Structure 1
Amino acid sequence: MKKFNKLILTTISILFTINFSYAENDFYKQALKKFNKKDYDEAKFLFERSIVFNPKDANSYLYLAKIFKEKENKREEEKNLNTTLLLDPSNEDATLRLMDISIERSNYSEVKELSEKFVKICKDLCKENDRILESLKDLEPKNDS
């Protein structure tokens, strides 16, 4: 009887884990579809649901940041980009987006620091660093000596 109860508990645990993973993945997939259709409110809700099931899902935080950019909420955009980088320090999209925010703020030192990091992690968006460095020329402090 003990073996039977243990088997049932193990089976229930496995089924719960499978269902949990499926729900997390399903919310993310649904959210991406909504995001691509520009249904940002529904996408935001679904990305948040995905995070409930997997709090370490860097991609959900990245897409939330993109949604907040569309809604012109810089504070939430930046918060979600920072969370993305906390979970995935080599996320080049999040790093690039933070660099753009820093350029808008004319924060030379932060852009420079992020640019140096970006060069080390970039794979697909490396050409974007040239655009950033060009923008840096306008921000660079002038040496008046």
Structure 2
Amino acid sequence: MTKIFKIIIFIYLTVFFSSAVLSKENFFDEALKMYQSENYDDARFMFERNIVFNPKDAQSYLYLAKIYNFEKNQRKEENNLETALLIEPDNEEVLLMLMKIALEKSNYSKVKNLSQTFAKVCEKLCDENNQIQESLKNIEPKNES
């Protein structure tokens, strides 16, 4: 009896964890399809659901930030970007989005710090960092001594 019970428990746990792993992938994939078809409300729900099962998925936080950017909710956008950056500090898209927010808020020191990190990790979006640096030169007050 005990051996049969252990086998049943083992089978149950194997099926449960296998379906949990598959559902994580399906939540993100499904959310991404919804996002790409501009179904942002449902995509947000699915990305959030994916985070419940996979709280260290930086891509889900990034896409939530993109949705909040579209909805003009900068506070939630920035919160999701900060979380994504904690999980994946070398994500150039996250760094770039945070630099743009810092520019809008006139937080030039934050832009400089993010830009230094960005310069070390950029592969695809390096030109955008150069544009931000050029705009900083035009905006920052000059130290006249």
Please report the TM-score for the alignment, with normalisation by the length of structure 2.
Answer: 0.94
- Counterpart of 2:25 in structure 1 is 25
Report the counterpart of residue 84 of structure 1 in structure 2.
84
Structure-1 separation of matches of 2:29 and 2:144? 54
**Given residue 129 of structure 2, which amino acid in structure 1 is its aligned partner?**
N
Q: What is the alpha-carbon distance in structure 2 between the residues aligned to residue 135 and residue 24 of structure 1?
A: 41
Show structure 2 runs of 5+ residues with no match: none
The aligned counterpart of 2:135 is 135
Q: CA–CA distance in 2 between the matches of 1:7 and 1:121?
A: 49
Question: What is the CA-CA distance between 1:3 and the residue it aligns to?
Answer: 3.2
Cα distance, 1:128 vs structure 2: 1.6
What is the alpha-carbon distance in structure 2 between the residues aligned to residue 89 and residue 134 of structure 1?
Answer: 24
| Aligned residues with identical type, % of pairs | 51
State the TM-score, normalizing by the size of structure 1. Answer: 0.94
**1:127 is paired with a residue of what secondary structure?**
helix
Structure 1 stretches of 4+ with a deviation exceeding 6 A read none
**What SS does structure 2 have at the residue aligned with 1:79?**
helix
Q: Which structure 1 segments of 5+ residues have no match?
A: none
- Deviation string for 1:42-68 (max 9, x for gaps)? 111111111111111111010000000
| Paired residue secondary structure (2:144) | coil
RMSD: 1.2
